[in-house]
Homo-oligomer: A and B are copies of this chain.
Amino acid sequence: MNPQYLLFDVGGTDIKAAFSDAAGTLHGIRRIRTQRVASDPAHTLVEQLKTLGAELMAEFPESNPIAVGLLVCGIVDEANGTGVFSANLGWRDAPLRQLVADAFDLPVGFGHDVLGAGVAELRFGAGKELGTAVDNAAVLIIGTGIAAALFVDGRPLSAGGYAGELGHGAVPGGLSCPCGAHGCLETIGSAGAIAKRYEQETGVHVAGAREVLNAREAGDKIAVRIWDEAIAALTFSIAQLCCSIAPQVVIIGGGLAQAGEALLQPLREALGEKLTYQRLPQIVAAQLGQDAGLRGAHLKAVAAGAQST
């Protein structure tokens, strides 16, 4: 094992880091909470990455990395290497690629966390299992919030970093959202919303959407309704996608995807009923789990390493 690439996947909640080798295998995966320092969020992040990098170098003293792969959350301008905006972490137009390149004195492959994870999912995960080339796809990550990686005519869609914000598209029955709008998909369709709504209606604390699914399967009527409303909201938004970018496959990842067929089968049925002449996409589960971001960061690092030689 010769670790060649230093990888970071920066989310609003935590940062994952690892080395990867030329084959893409991950080594020394670790995770820390993302620090939020409103006064200087970009440098705070870089300091956390330097600490993680030093830990990895200590664990693998023989390593001699040739490039960094860095994925971050928020609105990301991949071409310019900037974090345009992160509601969670607070930066605006932060030159993250350059800051990290300076910190490690290495070329940096830079991108958006959900889009990078989606590329990995298509290449190494659920997309690989499909067995056929997929030019048009959506990878929908359903966790606390909802975001998507969109693939159109064979390419990941960036639109300056603004593409794939499906969680903040309105759906019938949607509620008031912290983003300031009303009706956003993630106010009823996300794992976070399912748990929160159940708690609000029943007064019963649940650890997550999984417990609401358990309650549903035990016949709890409130759980049945909240789960059904989430399915309907997700179906609505996926059907909108089928009318605009027409994916051949929708890959469902994130925490809610752990529900498996209890989520996917109702989604398939509802979508089949809702669409008429449109192309009906396959709906499948993501395969890479929480490593998808690091696998995507690996692809970015490989590209940056190849460019610099």
Give A residues with C-beta under 8 Å from B.
75, 85, 87, 135-136, 148, 150, 152-153, 155, 157-160, 162-170, 172, 179-181, 236-237, 239-248, 274-279
Contact = CB atoms under 8 A, between A and B. Distances in A.
Nearest to A157: B152
Contact of A245 (B87, B163, B277): B163
Number of identical protomers? 2
A242 B241 CA distance: 12
Given A150-B245, A244-B241, A279 B160 contact: yes
Contacts of A169: 239-240, 243-244
Contact of A159 (B153, B158, B275): B153
Contacts of A75: 277
B278 A170 contact: no
A308 to B, nearest CB: 24
Contacts of A243: 165-169
Nearest to A277: B179
A220 to B, nearest CB: 29
29 contacts: A87-B277, A135-B159, A148-B244, A152-B245, A153-B157, A153-B158, A153-B159, A157-B245, A159-B245, A159-B246, A160-B246, A162-B278, A163-B245, A163-B246, A165-B243, A165-B244, A166-B243, A168-B243, A169-B239, A169-B244, A170-B239, A170-B240, A172-B172, A180-B277, A240-B240, A240-B244, A241-B244, A244-B245, A245-B245
A158 B136 CA distance: 10
A11 B236 CA distance: 30
A247 B243 CA distance: 16
A253 B245 CA distance: 20
Contacts of A168: 243, 276-278
Contact of A155 (B153, B181, B244, B275): B153
Given A160-B136, A169-B239, A239-B170, A244 B276 contact: no
Q: Which residue among A164, A167, A168, A244 has the maximum number of chain B CB atoms within 10 Å of its CB? A: A244
A231 B249 CA distance: 32
Contacts of A236: 170
Nearest to A164: B244
Contact of A152 (B159, B181, B279): B159
A135 B150 CA distance: 16
Report the 7 A-B pairs with minimum CB-CB distance, sorted nearest first.
A162-B246, A169-B243, A159-B246, A180-B276, A162-B279, A136-B159, A165-B243
